[in-house]
Each structure stands twice: as C-alpha cells, then as structure tokens.
Chain A
Amino acid sequence: MLVRIKTLKQLFQRHRRPGNLFFATIFLILSLFLLSQIGNQTVWKSSTKLYAQPALWPIVSLVGMALFALLNWISAWVSPKIAGRWLEVQFWLRSFEYVLWFMAYVYVVPLLGYLPSTVLFAVVLALRVGYRTPKMIAFSVLMAVSVVVVFKSFLQVRVPGGQIYEWLPDFMRSFMLTYF
C-alpha cells in the first residue's frame, strides 16, 4: 500500500535504498577515470573556436558527471547506513546469469535460425526460472512461435536465417529463410 503523499516535495522525493553507497562509489570512480582520459580520448584543435571544439561536450558532460557523482557520493557517505547492502549487490550480480542466457540466444540464432532458437530459448528459460508444468511449457512454445510469426513473418524485421536452414530441402529452404 502506498503512503499518502501530502506535498509536492514528498511526491518527487525518491528515497535511498540499500547499496546506494556502493553504487555511488563505483560511479564516482568511473566518472573520475573518464575525466582523466579527456586528454587522450579527445582532440583540442588549435585554430577552432571554443564552441566548435570536438572536446567541448565531452568535457562539459564529464566535469558535470564527476561533480554530481562526487556530491552524490558525499551525500551517500554522510547518510545513515541502510542494512542489506551486500544482499542487494548479490541481487545485481544474479542478473548476470540472465545476461549470459541472453547472449547465448544471440549467438545461437544465426546458427539454428530464428524460430528454432526462440522456441528452444523460451522453453529452456521457462524451465530455468522454475516453470515445470506442461501448461507453462506449452505457453512458452506458443509465445515463441507468436513472436517469430509477428516480427519475422509479418513485419519482416531483419533477422538472418539460420545456417542449419541450408540443409533443408530446396522447396523449404527459401520459405524458412524468408519467414522464419
């Protein structure tokens, strides 16, 4: 249940959550690292006015980023500690498993083709997140097929055909390459 909001200040107020200091520290380090690279990663042209300098906007953005990141870090540092910081960081790290699943899907599509990879990916992922019933597996297959039909068959988005399709008989190959 949401807490009643009584003022405009309360409405826009966003409150800190566990892991805030950790994030603020990482972001500050990133900002300072990027700022330190300005000399190497941008060019300052001698005969060009300030507003047309290629380095102007990277400098403006990185100085702003570092300044705000520093203030944000100080604000997080002086605020009372919220319990559960490392549990929260663990939650973030757990998401990397799904990054790997996603990238595996990306690599498999050009090999197996869009339709077989999507069906395989949806079913395997459904099993991974804990769905074991035939009903949920069937829903996963149905969802995967629907997505492929809508995007590839109808909208004709650019997803390449799978290498595996080359082994199909002639009459099926071009059909599969075009629509699935």
Chain B
Amino acid sequence: MEDLVSAFGLLARVDVLIALLIGSIGGVIIGAIPGVGAAVAIAILLPATFSLEPLVGLTMLLGIYGSSMYGGSIPAILINTPGTAVNALTTYDGYPMTKAGEARRAISLAYSASFFGGVFGILCLILLSPVLAWIAPQFGSREIFLAALLGIILVVLAHRGQIFAAGMLACFGIFLNTIGLEPIKYTQRFTFGQSWLSSGIDLIVVVLGLFALSQAFVLMVGKDDSPKAQPLKGSLFSGMKELFGHKRVATVASSFGVLMGMIPGVGEFTAQFMSYTYAQKTSKKPELFGKGSPEGLIASESANNAVPAAAMIPLLALGIPGEALTAMMLSVFYVHNVIPGPQLFQNDMDFVLALYIAMLVLNVLVLIFLLFSTNLLTKIIQIPTRFLGIVIMVLSFVGVYSLRNSTVDCAIAAGFGVFGLVLKRLNLPVVPIILGMVLGGIMETKLRSSMARVKTPLDFIDRPIAAFLFAIILLVIILHIRTLVIEHRNRQPETDHDLHDTQMR
C-alpha cells in the first residue's frame, strides 16, 4: 500500500503526464502510418529520452509501444495495409468488414478489443507482481545466463524457414557486442587498430541504422505511394457492447497474449495465431473467419495488445528483453543506472508500480483520443511514402548525432541502414541481431560471474530454477528436432506469404 501511494506520487508530476500524453497519442499516430511503426519511433526517440528522468523517458516509450497497435488497426481495416507488423492478422477480417460497408463497426470493435487486451495484460502484470517479487531474487547469475541463452535459442527457432539466417544474424549480434576494449583484462577485441572501434559499437547506433535509417532508404528508393482511406461516419462507442457479447474470445485471446508476451523471442504472432485458431474452432460461425468475422478481429486485436505489458515481465524482473522494443528500453534503464532485475522489485517497487499505472492510464487516453479523432488519422495515413522517408531520415540524424556528436556514429548507422535495407528486402529478420547484442552482453557477464562458484559442469544446474531452465532449453531443442522430422515425413506444398514483409512498410 505504501508503495502504491509512493507510485502515485511519482506519477503526479507535470513532466510525467506530458510524456504519457505525447507517448500515447504519438504512438497512435505513428502506428496508423504504414511505414513507421513503434520500433522506428522508439529508436529515434531513445537518445532524446536519455536526458529525461527514467520514469519520464520510459513512460513516453511505453506509451508508444502500447498505443501503436491501436493506430495500426486503422489502415489494416480501412485499406488492407497493416499500420504495424502485428496488425497483419487484423486485415483478414477487418478489411472484408469494410468492403461489406461495416468499417465503423470493425474500427469500433478493434478499439474495444485492443483496450480489453491492453487492460487485461496490465492487470495480469499487477496480479503477478507479488509472484515476480518472490521469484525474481531466486535468479542468480547462472539462472539469468540460462534465461538469456533460452531467449537467443527461441528467437532463432521462431524464424521458421530462415533458421540458419536467424542463427548467423544472432551470432553476428553477439559478435558486434564483443568489439572494442573489454572491461576485465583491458584487451582490444576486433578493433583492427582503429581508435574509433575501441569504445565498441553502440547499440543505439545499430538500432537506429537497422530500424530507422533502413526504413528511410527502403521508402525513398522504392516507388512513391499515397494510401487513400475513406472517412468514417457515425459514433464509435458501440464496439464495447458488441465486445461484451464475445467476452470469452477476448479473454482467451488476451491470455494467450500475456503468456506469449512473457516468453522471450515469441511475442505477438504466436499469440495472435493461437487466439485466432481458438476463436475459429469454438465459433458458431467458423465459415465467417477471413470473410469479416467480428470474433476473428477481436482475437487478433486483443492478443497483440496484451503483449506489451507481458513483455515487460522478463525485462523488469530479470533484466532480459524478449524482443527488440524492450531491448531498446533496457538501454534507457542502463543510461540512468537503474538496473532492471531482482533488485528492482525489492528496492524500487514504487517505480515498477508507477510504470504499471502509467500503462493503464495510457490505454484510457488512447481510447478517448481514438473515439474522437479517427477521421483525422485517416488523413494522416495519406502521407506519401517518399516524404515519410525524408521525415525518418531527418529524425534519424537527430537520434544518432545527439548521442555524442560523432560523425563516425552517423557513418556506422548509415552502414547498418543499408544492411537493414538488404535484410528487409530479403525477408530476413532484424530482431536476432539486436537480441544477440543485448543478450550476448548479458551472457558474457553472467557466465563469468557464475563460474567462480562452479566446480563441475553439473554444479551449474544444481539449483531448481537453473535446472528447470536447462530442462526447458533441452526440451525446446528436442521438440524442434522432432517437429522437423515429422514435417519432413509429411511434406506439404508451401504457400508463400508476405506477412513478415509488413515490417518494411
């Protein structure tokens, strides 16, 4: 209770509230524009938030993360183009509803489902807090090492059909993190005698190159396009009532979102797929799925919006990010010397609670904003893509250059921009590089600190959580091999799809 009062005290400040407002509304707008997305926006804003207090900066970034998917559903429903990658499934039922003259109903339902998923995720996070506060201190160095290793393995295995590429990119990320002067023996690693490599390659520079500059290059080199969306007529308040009629689907979908969000390297896609399959199997009208089913729309939007709150669990409790956006947020913690992990729950519970409350408030703010400004957003969607490329490039400059006014940083970011463009064009994932960089650093530090007490290899897993994590790692690998064998026996013709290409737009 004391922590709760203290948390409200932390939030009751003008700068925090302004950050919350900018983050939530900005996130919706960014999500609504196909071609930007939360990752690009967070990458650009990251250096600017370093000068702000941790809570202010994190509130703004969380606002963008939590609200971008709301905005992303607008173009997904109205013009069949997902605003963010995780709104792709929304096009399946949202766009057919628009074609059937039910755009207003679909948008209203998407907002309501998103709100339900968002709030459900946060409530789960709040309810799980005591468990996290109890379990997190039991994670020592070796447990965190194993959890980070599990995260790397999962992110590689999640890229079906591109596992070799995902593996080499994750290893590339781990390698990037080793470049420079290492802090224990003070030896140079892969600096090739170049002084500018001694301080290593900054994560933010890589993130800005891979996410933001690459997107600017893709948009400017590609053909110009200006999506057109028809304005909506009528009130958007009816969705909540209709959602109530499908509360079972919404609850199950949000639960999948929470479960999948907690597991590093998995996230929105799996949650959405499981929810959608569940909704279709249990529906009275399964034939409507893919042709404008309200239940399909609810399953997709509830699941993806429940993920951000759940994704904060491994980040806050263990200091392990499960995907690119939380990896970026980790750097905000580090810059301010706030180290997420078990100590955070023990010493700064009010800070953690303040983040939860901020996320709740942002969902309310976003819903209110959307109910009154959707038609304005349909105009913003029409920004021509090449102009968007110029905007991203101008913003990327301030992101990279403001770090330490370094021309070299800008050149490195531009290099990673081209690399990111190649990866996006090849349909290869960018996320393993970022997770490799972050988790690689964690693994190196934690292995070193944990091995001092380990005499035989078995000592490494002699604690219950370490043994459990090790068993999970083995299980994941064995199950993957088993699946490969079964699939090889029952080969089916493959259908190409461009679901992952949505990252490019």
Name A residues whose Cβ lies closer than 8 Å to a Cβ of B: 1-5, 8-17, 19-20, 23-24, 27, 31, 34, 37, 41-43, 45, 48-49, 51-52, 54-58, 60-62, 64-65, 67-69, 71-72, 75, 88, 91-92, 94-96, 98-99, 101-103, 105-107, 109, 118, 121-122, 125-126, 129-131, 136, 139-140, 143-144, 147, 151, 155-160
Residues B410 and A102 in contact, CB atoms below 8 Å apart: yes
Asked if B232 is an interface residue, CB under 8 A from chain A, the answer is no
Checking A11, A23, A125, A129 against B422 with a beta-carbon cut-off of 8 angstroms, the contacting residue is A23
Contact between chains at A130 and B175 (CB < 8 Å): no
Q: Which B residues are CB-close (under 8 A) to A60?
A: 174
Cβ-defined partner of A129 (8 Å) among B164, B386, B396: B386
A147 partner residues in chain B, CB cutoff 8 A:
391, 394-395, 398
Determine how close the nearest CB of chain A comes to the CB of B138; give it in whole angstroms. 22
From known contacts A57-B174, A65-B171, infer whether A144 and B394 are also in contact, taking CB-CB under 8 Å: yes
A-B contact pairs, 30 of them (CB 8 A): A10-B497, A11-B270, A12-B161, A13-B494, A14-B500, A23-B422, A31-B168, A41-B190, A42-B190, A45-B185, A49-B451, A52-B184, A54-B189, A57-B443, A58-B178, A65-B172, A69-B168, A75-B164, A91-B425, A95-B221, A95-B421, A98-B393, A105-B393, A118-B397, A130-B386, A131-B387, A136-B384, A136-B387, A151-B398, A158-B405
| A157 → chain B closest CB, angstroms | 4
Given A64-B171, A65-B168, A69-B168, A129 contacting B390 (CB threshold 8 A)? yes
> How many angstroms from the CA of A72 to the CA of B170 in the assembled complex?
13
Residues of B in contact (CB 8 Å), total 89
The answer to whether A109 and B401 touch across the interface, beta carbons within 8 angstroms, is: yes
How far is it, in angstroms, between the C-alpha of A76 and the C-alpha of B447 when the chains are bound? Answer: 35
What residues of chain B have their CB less than 8 Å away from a CB belonging to chain A?
Answer: 47-48, 51, 80, 88, 91-92, 158-162, 164-165, 167-168, 170-172, 174-175, 177-178, 182, 184-185, 187-192, 213, 216-218, 220-221, 224, 269-270, 273, 290, 384, 386-387, 389-391, 393-398, 401-402, 404-405, 407, 410-411, 414-415, 417-418, 421-422, 425-429, 436, 440, 443-444, 447-448, 451, 483, 487, 494-500
CB nearest to B52 among chain A residues: A155
Name B498's contact: one of A2, A129, A157 (CB within 8 Å).
Answer: A2
How far is it, in angstroms, between the C-alpha of A65 and the C-alpha of B175 when the chains are bound?
9
Task: Note all chain B residues with C-beta closer than 8 A to A34.
Answer: 175, 190
B50's closest neighbor in chain A, by CB?
A157
A16 to B501 Cα, complex, angstroms: 12
Interface centre among A1, A31, A151, A160 (most CB of B within 10 A): A151
Query: In the bound complex, what is the Cα–Cα distance between A103 and B270 (angstroms)?
Result: 40
CA gap between A159 and B395 in the complex, in Å: 13
A37 with B190: CB separation less than 8 A: yes
Using Cβ atoms and an 8 Å threshold, which residues of chain A touch B387? 126, 129, 131, 136, 139-140
